[in-house]
Amino acid sequence: DAKTTQPPSMDCAEGRAANLPCNHSTISGNEYVYWYRQIHSQGPQYIIHGLKNNETNEMASLIITEDRKSSTLILPHATLRDTAVYYCIVRVNTNAGKSTFGDGTTLTVKP
């Protein structure tokens, strides 16, 4: 699985968009980008994933650059409940079940 690099921490004002970056410069053509988040003392929660096209669901949007070397998770209207550690993971889907979680980004949403 490709290695990812994320900033250790970010702050965001409540109601504003939170943009969380992830670098994955060694990504292979068949590797997907997945995002999870972990709220304190809970198991990680799946947010979104994509291969090369931008994706959107009810929780967030995922923007993947054309060269696929980086991506951005966007929470359009952050709330206090979005305060969590956000993990960007790159892996081949057929190898599902073995994900390498890095240190993630601790997002703090402030009132």
Partner 1 sequence: KAGVTQTPRYLIKTRGQQVTLSCSPISGHRSVSWYQQTPGQGLQFLFEYFSETQRNKGNFPGRFSGRQFSNSRSEMNVSTLELGDSALYLCASSLQGEPNYGYTFGSGTRLTVV
Interface with partner 1 by CB under 8 A: which residues?
A: 32, 34, 36, 42-49, 51, 87, 93-103
Quick one: 61 or 99, whose CB is closer to partner 1? 99
Q: How far is the CB of 96 from partner 1 (least distance, A)?
A: 6
Work out how close the CB of 90 gets to partner 1 at its nearest, in angstroms, rounded to a whole number. 13
Place of tokens 């994933």: 49
CB-nearer residue toward partner 1: 9 or 13: 9
Amino acid at 50: G
Cβ-based neighbours of 110, under 8 Å, separated by 6 or more: 11, 12, 13, 14
**Hey, how many other C-beta atoms are within 10 angstroms of the C-beta on 77?**
10
Identity of the residue, 80 or 96, whose beta carbon is nearer to partner 1 in the bound complex: 96
* Number of neighbouring beta carbons within 10 Å of residue 102: 14
Name the minimum Å distance from CB 28 to partner 1. Answer: 15
